[in-house]
Amino acid sequence: MLYYYINFYIKFILMSLSIIVLAAGKGSRMLSKTPKVLHEVGNYPMLFHVLDTAYSIKKSKICLVISNPLLKFKEFLKKKYKNLNFCVQNQQKGTADAVKTAIIKNKNKSSVNTLVIYGDTPLIKKRTLNNALKKFRENNLDLCVISMMPNKKENSYGKLKFSKKKLVEIIEQSELKNNNSDLDMCNSGIMIFKNKYLNENIRLVKNKNNKKEFYLTDLVKIFNKKNLSIDHYTCCYEETLGVNSMIDLALVNDEFQKEKRNYFLNKGVCMLAPDTVYFSFDTKIGSNVTIEPNVFFGPSVEIKNDVYIKSFCYMDNVKVHDFVTIGPFARIRDGVQIEKESKLGNFVEIKKSKIGKNVKLSHLSYIGDSVINENSNIGAGAITCNYDGVKKNKTIIGQDCFIGSNTSLVAPLKIKKGSIIGAGTVVNQDIPIETVVYRKSELIKKHKKK
């Protein structure tokens, strides 16, 4: 038994991994006030994409290297990511300096190997990291670089240099001389190290280069000189797209959308023009759903089964139940639930409301902070006046009500079940059940003066 436990413990230690996520860079090429790694891909910060993937790697301890501007998000990050270690790099002196800062703070102490991931490479997959780790372990490597081969000449990545098919060096783009212009295999930025050699050699990296930065990639040359065992694992280019500029961010978002569209098409979602449909990282769509062209899904949208979404709809934070039809031109937002078989037509805006089963809201309405119960019909141009200039107020419409066209429902307001509101009425008092309401005003008819 004791033997079993010792064996298990040794195996665990050997398998255990420190993951260092670098997110402290200045991101100056973004020309943005927002820290680079907080820019969003599919409405989710790049850093969260990377941390989610890091957390999916088993038996790992994660350390995030941040800069001072990111410190204000530390508490939020601590809540979202349990047991996340932090390390602050005060001056952005390069990727090797960032890793050294983490090592000095003992952030890879309890492990044998270290995986370094960059916070600006959000599309990297768990499967790729695990495959690279497998190669690293099975071949008893001291350093493994995740490489990629772009489909056209790239000038924004470090290039892998080989000698007799052996990886010997990574040359940064800014250091490339003309005689190296034939190098085409690129560095994704992701590397796996044996801690023993990483910790020994990180101090040997110098900043004698055009950018006066400490490049982590210089370790390849250093390891090679010491005859340590180095190799690379090639993954697909799209997965390792790095973001340094707004153009890169647009490219990565584009790639993310392609992936999402393929995912939903493979799940049987019918899209008439998939390239015009925009998904968020957490969009959920059920079966037998049709989406017409030009639809935007912001964060927290869940569409159940047999739903039909017509063109030009914009939704965020919405749950749509079975057999609902929406649009064209509907905007639904900020916490809306739409129950089965309801129909929302053109130019309808719904905010923070619950729409009951089989409700018809067919044309030109604004419904805010409201509950509309089942089988009610809301006429064209009916609106809830939910804001009194100071605060938002609720409107509750009972089941089987008929709200006439062009009515103004002045909240707070309760219209009880079965009531009928005449067209054009301004309703500013609660209405009891089964009541017919209209304002009497005379229709004047005169002959035109000649």
Report 181-210 residues binding ligand UD1 (CB under 6 A).
186-189
Burial of 359 (0-12, 13-18, 19+ CB in 10 A): buried
With binding defined as CB under 6 A, does residue 97 bind ligand UD1? yes
With binding defined as CB under 6 A, does residue 85 bind ligand UD1? no
Rounded Cα distance, 364 and 380, in Å:
6
**Which residue in the set 195, 244, 245, 300 belongs to the binding site for ligand UD1 (CB under 6 A)?**
244
Distances (CA, A) of 22 to 39, 46, 123, 188, 190: 15, 12, 15, 13, 10
Please provide residue 126's backbone torsions phi and psi, each rounded to the nearest 5 degrees: -55, -45
> Residues 230-269: x/- map of binding to Mg ion (CB under 5 A)?
------------x-x-------------------------
Give yes or no for a contact between 100 and 202, defined as CB atoms under 8 angstroms apart: yes
Please provide residue 200's backbone torsions phi and psi, each rounded to the nearest 5 degrees: -70, -40
Pick the stretch among 114-122, 248-256, 307-315, 392-400 that binds Mg ion (CB under 5 A): 114-122
Closest CA to 115 of 57, 161, 167: 57
Across 121-131, b (16+ Cβ under 10 Å) vs e yields: bbbbeeebbee
With binding defined as CB under 6 A, does residue 95 bind ligand UD1? yes
Closest CA to 231 of 346, 147, 175, 150: 147
With binding defined as CB under 6 A, does residue 105 bind ligand UD1? no
Distances (CA, A) of 72 to 76, 102, 248: 8, 19, 26
With binding defined as CB under 6 A, does residue 89 bind ligand UD1? yes
Residue 94 binds which entry of ligand UD1, Mg ion, none, CB below 5-8 Å type-dependent: ligand UD1
Encoding tokens for residue 393?
């107020």
Residue 101 binds which entry of Mg ion, ligand UD1, none, CB below 5-8 Å type-dependent: none
Residue with smaller CB distance to ligand UD1, 32 or 435: 32
Smallest separation, CB 283 to ligand UD1 (Å):
26
Pick the stretch among 200-208, 213-221, 295-303, 440-448 that binds ligand UD1 (CB under 6 A): 213-221
Determine the 3-state secondary structure of 385 from DSSP. strand
Residue with smaller CB distance to Mg ion, 48 or 323: 48
Smallest separation, CB 122 to ligand UD1 (Å):
10
Residue with smaller CB distance to ligand UD1, 24 or 62: 24
Rounded Cα distance, 398 and 433, in Å:
8
Residue with smaller CB distance to ligand UD1, 22 or 427: 22
Determine the 3-state secondary structure of 207 from DSSP. coil
Residue with smaller CB distance to ligand UD1, 236 or 270: 236
Encoding tokens for residue 85?
């270690």
| Residue number with the smallest Cβ distance to ligand UD1 | 158
With binding defined as CB under 5 A, does residue 40 bind Mg ion? no
With binding defined as CB under 6 A, does residue 118 bind ligand UD1? yes
Active site residue 447: no
With binding defined as CB under 6 A, does residue 158 bind ligand UD1? yes
Q: Quick one: how far is CA 14 from the chain centroid? A: 33
Smallest separation, CB 179 to ligand UD1 (Å):
19
Smallest separation, CB 242 to Mg ion (Å):
4
Q: Quick one: how far is CA 37 from the chain centroid? A: 12
**Which residue in the set 55, 81, 88, 92 belongs to the binding site for ligand UD1 (CB under 6 A)?**
92
DSSP per-residue codes, 70-115: GGGGHHHHHHHSTT-EEEE-SS---HHHHHHHHHHTTTTTT-SEEE
Q: Helix (H) and strand (E) counts for the chain?
A: 8, 34
**Which residue in the set 44, 105, 135, 172 belongs to the binding site for ligand UD1 (CB under 6 A)?**
172
Please provide residue 415's backbone torsions phi and psi, each rounded to the nearest 5 degrees: -110, 115
Q: List the beta bridge partners of residue 167.
A: 162
Smallest separation, CB 244 to Mg ion (Å):
5
Residue 145 binds which entry of ligand UD1, Mg ion, none, CB below 5-8 Å type-dependent: none
Q: How far apart are the first and last CA of the chain?
A: 111
Smallest separation, CB 105 to ligand UD1 (Å):
14
Residue 187 binds which entry of ligand UD1, Mg ion, none, CB below 5-8 Å type-dependent: ligand UD1
Smallest separation, CB 166 to ligand UD1 (Å):
18
Rg over alpha carbons for the chain, rounded to the nearest Å, is: 29
Rounded Cα distance, 312 and 401, in Å:
29
Residue 217 binds which entry of Mg ion, ligand UD1, none, CB below 5-8 Å type-dependent: ligand UD1
Catalytic entry in 39, 321, 363, 447: 363
Q: Quick one: how far is CA 367 from the chain centroid? A: 28
Smallest separation, CB 78 to ligand UD1 (Å):
19
Task: List residues binding ligand UD1 (CB under 6 A).
Answer: 22-25, 37, 65, 89, 92-95, 97-98, 118-121, 157-158, 170, 172, 186-189, 215-217, 242, 244
User: Mind telling me the catalytic residues?
Assistant: 363
Task: List residues binding Mg ion (CB under 5 A).
Answer: 120, 242, 244
